[in-house]
Structure 1
Amino acid sequence: MTIRTWVVAFLLLWPLASAGVRAQQPDTAVLSESTKRQAAVPADTASEILDALVRLPLAAVLGAALAVRPRRRGTPPRQPAVIQTQIILAIVGAVVMMVVGTNLARAFGVVGAAGLVRYRAKIADPKDAGVMLSTLALGLASGVGLYAIAIFSGVFILLALWVIESFEPKKRDAFIVKVKIGDDTDSRRGDIEAILRRHRVDFELTSSSDEEVCYDVEVPLELRRARVTNAILKLDPAGHAAVEWAEKKTK
């Protein structure tokens, strides 16, 4: 066969081959409609929960590992509220990424929603800021219809908060206490400190003299200071004792 024959055969068979290939390919309109229907169908609820069951605890563990890492000598101690906030932020990041996935529109939605958060007021506890972001993440999950992720994440965050707050030291009020018991107050220090210990008051002696002793104390929130005052006043039956409480300003 000459080259001319091959060229003619190619020109004759090309339309048939093209038609056969087009016949085997699915209709793009039908395919796009099918893709849209699949995209409209939410992911399997059980699969979402299983993914969250792995991702959220992993984020919490890794966040905790960084938050409670060993402290180098000479560095200031870490605040419990900051440690708790770091763990919460790791969980929030996992929830947000489960909500976003590979959806670019959701990613822009998260950026826009996060931009609405403004901390105009001073937040005393950094953990409260983490809880605010948690509620934002749960709202995003609910808003896009990921109900299983929203519910499971909400329960998980509640459990995480309950666990990390159980390690939080109890809050105490700080005061400066001045005690006067006659002209020999210093000799009654043992009795005064025994009363403070009995009422679970942490104390540190700052000054002592015959006329007055002074302590820096930390009092449990639920303790009524009047009970401590009355117990100290009973040390002087003559009624010449005096107890002065002054709130200590934190730096």
Structure 2
Amino acid sequence: MEVAEMPFGVAGRPAGPSGGRRASKNKPRIIEVAGPAGSGKSTLARALAERGGITLVDRVPTYRRIRELPFYIINILLLTPLLFRLYRSKQGGWFTREQVAELAVARGWHRILLQQAAASQADVVVDEGPLYCMAYLHVYGPEVLRSQAAQPWWESIYTKWAHTLDMVIWLDTCNMALVDRIRTRPKWHGVKLKSDPEAHRYLDSLRGAYEQLLPALQSRSGDLRVLRFDTGKEPVSQICERVIAALDDKDGGN
């Protein structure tokens, strides 16, 4: 695959006369590949990008890169009223630096993704994106983020992403298979250091958060489509073909 260097973890090959899958004939779509660790998200996202006509976004903005610092500075400043309100509520706990960064991503990343889609005029596939960010904050954020004081902010975030995401591809399989994949792959993950019961609890906690988030977003969007696949029963290559068919079918129906 020919990879172009683009900002914020973008890689891919836009549609064109050279071949590959055509882009949506309507506005480009934002698609997230979601699911627990080890479910095959990155493999599927890369396979989709290799088909052409799809732009892959494989990481969130990071404050560790100087050119991406403005994103965090702006969004954290805009989060100040929320942080002040939560601090005054005294509901317990406070944010780590990483959690504040996740708040910034949840608040402002949609603008970047929409700009990337418009610039490439191709569907954008996000490998573990806003849904993961929200699930992480639900499970690991401080108690104050689950308080009544935070509910207006959550409502705004749900609505924002419900109207940004066009499709979610949910990958999953049994915990035993997920843990085995994580432990045997080169990519580092904290599950490698956990016992089986600890690893299963970790996977279940994030899975539970996702299962609450998806209906919350769908209820705020009239056309957010969720495709679910079991990667223990179906190879990624076959799932890729089914996703492409679903995208093309959606094109034909619009």
User: Which band: TM-score by shorter chain?
Assistant: under 0.3
**TM-score normalised per structure 1:** 0.23
More helix as a share of residues: 1
Larger radius of gyration: 1
Structure with the greater relative contact order (CA < 8 A, sep ≥ 6): 1 or 2?
2
